[in-house]
Amino acid sequence: MKFIPNITFLRYFFSAGQSKSISRASKENFVSQSAISQAISKLEKTLGKQLITHEKNRFQLTADGLLLLDKCKQIFTVFSEIEDAFNETDSVFKGKLSFACTHSFALSLLPAYLSKLSQTWEKIEPILRFGHTGTIVELVKKGDVDFGIVLDNEDFSLFHSREIYRGEYHLYTAKKFTANAKNKFILSEERKEVSLLKQHFQNNGVEIHAYMEVSSWEVIASLVEQGMGIGFLPDYIAGKRALIPYEYSIPKIPYRILAISPKNRKLSRNAQMFIDLIGQI
DNA sequence: GCTCGGCCATGTCTGAGCAG
DNA sequence: CTGCTCAGACATGGCCGAGC
């Protein structure tokens, strides 16, 4: 074989390419920026290809750099599979576990799951990414995370999915309901569950309008706690907050929280373990 | 309100030198 | 010899005050 790669250099390049910064790569790998820069230069020399544009104060991959980044992703996936295989024979779980979820999930349900994880397998190193559903889907597609945690309000048939939690949407008010909150509905953007709610009111001859449209359930819950209105939320958000169900009964509007991963990629052993663990709680 | 220039923080590259 | 740190140079962008 003509090209014998230095695996440390590839690791540095991969790290810089993923984080789009030599500085961040240096912090991730506990070496200086210079070491990362030199490693990339040596890779370029070995390959005879320019991998980054070498502009001052700007990290940018060339077409060859992007190609190598993709190949590195495959290489390091194989490495983690090898690590998985050895850990499996040792009957232990350790190393990285990366996943993406929404802020609302991270603030509501995730702490209990992570607590259980750290108690059970203390050598697991979770890497968390946050964002809206679209961001999570992109991270999962690109292989930047092992799996994503999403609400089932979109079509995820292109992914392998597993239900990890289920609940219902409800209307909530503050424990101390104020007259100020009456008929002031605080809703998220027009999605399936919001349409169903509006449809129900319409069927009963009541037309409701969002007093306020807020694209974050956490923010809706906080506003409702302040007595600013009636919020429509999944029950896991209301959980530990000073909220009570609104007196007006609505039909069941269920939801499911799913762990999604690409169909063409085997879920890492750590990810499989964590999803199983969530299912047990 | 807008522009300009100075200052500072941040990020990258290069070369010298050191340790294993 | 290889891979690292350190120091210095340089580019860029944000902030802020002065001047118009």
Q: What is the pLDDT of residue A2?
A: 42
Read off the pLDDT band of A47 (50, 70, 90): confident
Instruction: Decide: A210 and A187 in contact? Cβ < 8 Å.
Output: yes
From CA A115, how far away is CA A257, in angstroms rounded?
19
User: A167-251 belongs to which CATH class?
Assistant: alpha beta
Pair of tokens at residue A54: 């070498």
Please choose, from the candidates A250, A235, A230, A133, the residue with its C-alpha nearest in 3D space to the C-alpha of residue A187: A230
- pLDDT > 60? residue A93: yes
CATH annotation of A93-164+255-277: 3.40.190.10
Read off the pLDDT band of A94 (50, 70, 90): confident
Quick count: other Cβ atoms within 10 Å of Cβ A154? 13
Read off the pLDDT band of A163 (50, 70, 90): very high
Nucleotide closest to residue A32 (CA–C1'): C5
- pLDDT > 70? residue A119: yes
Nucleotide closest to residue A33 (CA–C1'): B12
Q: What is the mean pLDDT of chain A?
A: 80
Report CA Rg, chain A: 24
Most distant CA atoms of chain A, gap in Å: 78
From CA A45, how far away is CA A138, in angstroms rounded?
33
Instruction: Decide: A71 and A14 in contact? Cβ < 8 Å.
Output: no
Quick count: other Cβ atoms within 10 Å of Cβ A51? 22
Q: What is the pLDDT of residue A115?
A: 92
- pLDDT > 60? residue A4: no
- pLDDT > 70? residue A166: yes
- Determine the residue type at A73: K
CATH 3.40.190.10 positions along chain A are 93-164+255-277, 167-251
Read off the pLDDT band of A217 (50, 70, 90): confident
Q: Residue with structure tokens 């991998």? A: A51
Spacing of A169 CA from B4 C1' in Å: 56
Selected residue with higher pLDDT from A179 and A105: A105
From CA A218, how far away is CA A230, in angstroms rounded?
14
Most confident of A40-44, A164-168, A205-209: A164-168
Q: Which residues contact A255 (CB under 8 A, 6 or more apart)?
A: A151, A152, A153, A166, A167, A168, A169, A193, A234
Strands (E) located in A9-158: 95-101, 124-130, 147-151
Instruction: Decide: A9 and A15 in contact? Cβ < 8 Å.
Output: no
Least confident of A113-127, A163-177, A202-216: A202-216
From CA A97, how far away is CA A28, in angstroms rounded?
15
Spacing of A55 CA from C9 C1' in Å: 15
Distance (Å) of CA A156 to CA A111, A131, A151, A163: 25, 17, 10, 12
Residue nearest to nucleotide B15 (CA to C1'): A34
- pLDDT > 90? residue A150: yes
Q: What is the share, in percent, of chain A residues with pLDDT greater than 70?
A: 87
Distance (Å) of CA A218 to CA A21, A106, A189, A235, A244: 32, 11, 14, 12, 15
Q: What's the whole-number mean pLDDT along residues A55-60?
A: 65
pLDDT, tens digit (0-9, with 9 covering 90-100), for A232-279: 999 988 877 888 888 777 888 899 999 998 876 778 888 998 999 988
From CA A279, how far away is CA A258, in angstroms rounded?
11
CATH 1.10.10.10 positions along chain A are 5-85
Q: What is the pLDDT of residue A86?
A: 64
Instruction: Decide: A221 and A238 in contact? Cβ < 8 Å.
Output: yes
Pair of tokens at residue A218: 């956490």
Spacing of A35 CA from B18 C1' in Å: 14
Dihedrals φ, ψ of A31, to 5°?
Answer: -130, 175
Strand C surroundings (CB within 7 A)? A 6, 8, 30-32, 34-35, 38-39, 42, 55-58
Q: What's the whole-number mean pLDDT along residues A70-92?
A: 71
Q: What's the whole-number mean pLDDT along residues A174-200?
A: 79
Q: What's the whole-number mean pLDDT along residues A135-156?
A: 84
CATH 3.50.50.60 fits A5-85, yes or no: no
Spacing of A19 CA from B10 C1' in Å: 16
- pLDDT > 80? residue A77: no
From CA A70, how far away is CA A214, in angstroms rounded?
38
- pLDDT > 70? residue A87: no
From CA A3, how far away is CA A10, in angstroms rounded?
13
